[in-house]
């Protein structure tokens, strides 16, 4: 499984865009990029995933570079409730196994 | 609402005790997982199951076993609990992979079970 590297922590002002980077330089052609987040005392929650193209849903946008070696999760208007640990994961298309790293702790401040 | 339910939020056990952590999902999912979460180490996969009576080792299976007798239930067993198994345990489930469609292979997690072994 490809490994991911994320900064351990980031800050963001409420109302501003939060851009969370992830490096996955060893990703293979059949591996998807997934993002989950974990709010304190809860189980992780799915946010978004993608293969090659940029993706957007009601929670966030996922930008994947053309060479697929890195990606960025964008929360367009961060709120205090977005304070959480964000995990970037790569996953082979035909496996059910997800390997989590240590994630990025995002602190949104007023 | 989809639901993954873990039997206990908090447990305190003694060294050497046998511990059962139960997980039930109501989404008719094929796949179920047990992770443990420790500060500074993130989530680590212990075991997973892709069908009834099937199991696969994750990255840290030592000291654990699992049981999946029914599709909706996945149990994690600590045969002889030790203090280094004090941790937060998270159960998750997912459906069959459907490719890149929305929600395909999404993991749904329970609230977690915090186990303390004295």
Residues A31-67 pLDDT 10s: 889 999 999 878 899 999 888 889 999 999 999 999 9
Q: Express each pLDDT in A21-30 by its tens digit.
A: 999 988 888 7
Which of B2, B37, B107, B112 is best to mutate for the A interface (most A CBs within 10 A)? Answer: B107
Joined tokens for residue B26: 């109501």
- Going by pLDDT thresholds of 50, 70 and 90, the confidence category of residue A90 is confident
Residue A82: what pLDDT?
96
Residue B100 has pLDDT above 50, yes or no: no
**CB-based contact B50 A45, cutoff 8 Å:** no
CB contact under 8 A, B111 and A42: yes
Kindly provide the residue ranges of all beta strands, DSSP E only, lying in chain B, ordered along the sequence: 4-6, 10-13, 19-25, 31-38, 42-49, 56-57, 65-70, 73-78, 87-94, 108-109, 113-117
Contact B42 A32 (CB under 8 A): no
**Sign, CA torsion A2/B110/A50/B102:** positive
Interface residue ranges in chain A relative to chain B, Cβ cutoff 8 Å: 32, 36, 41-46, 49-51, 57, 87, 91, 93-94, 96-103
CB atoms within 10 A of CB B65: 13
H or E element: which one contains A32?
strand A31-38
What is the pLDDT at residue B102?
41
Question: CB distance from B74 to chain A under 8 Å?
Answer: no
Give the pLDDT band (50/70/90) at residue A95: low
pLDDT over 90 at B96, yes or no? no
* Beta partners for residue A73, in sequence order: A20, A62
Cβ contacts of A67 within 8 Å, gap of 6 or more: none
Average pLDDT, chain A: 90
The verdict on B112 touching A (C-beta cutoff 8 Å) is yes
Residue B94 tokens read as 């997912």
Instruction: Label residue B105 by pLDDT band (50, 70, 90).
Output: low
């Amino acid at each position: 499984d490809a490994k991911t590297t994320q900064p351990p922590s980031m800050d963001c002002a409420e109302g501003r865009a939060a851009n969370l980077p992830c490096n996955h330089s060893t990703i293979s052609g059949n591996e998807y990029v997934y993002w989950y987040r974990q709010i304190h005392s809860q189980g992780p929650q799915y946010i978004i995933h993608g293969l090659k193209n940029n993706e957007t849903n009601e929670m966030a946008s996922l930008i994947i570079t053309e060479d697929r070696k890195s990606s960025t999760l964008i929360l367009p208007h961060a709120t205090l409730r977005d304070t959480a640990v964000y995990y970037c994961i790569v996953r082979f298309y035909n496996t059910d196994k997800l390997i989590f790293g240590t994630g990025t702790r995002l602190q949104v401040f007023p | 609402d989809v639901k993954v339910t873990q039997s206990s939020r908090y447990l305190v056990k003694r060294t050497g005790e046998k511990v059962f952590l139960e997980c039930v999902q109501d989404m008719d999912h094929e796949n179920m997982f047990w992770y443990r979460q420790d500060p500074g180490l993130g989530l680590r996969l212990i075991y997973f199951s892709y069908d009834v009576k099937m199991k696969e080792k994750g990255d840290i299976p030592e000291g654990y076993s699992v049981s999946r007798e029914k599709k909706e239930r996945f149990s994690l067993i600590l045969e002889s609990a030790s203090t280094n198994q004090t941790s937060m345990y998270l159960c998750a489930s997912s459906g069959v992979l459907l490719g890149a469609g929305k929600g395909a292979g999404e993991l749904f997690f329970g609230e977690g079970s915090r186990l303390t072994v004295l």
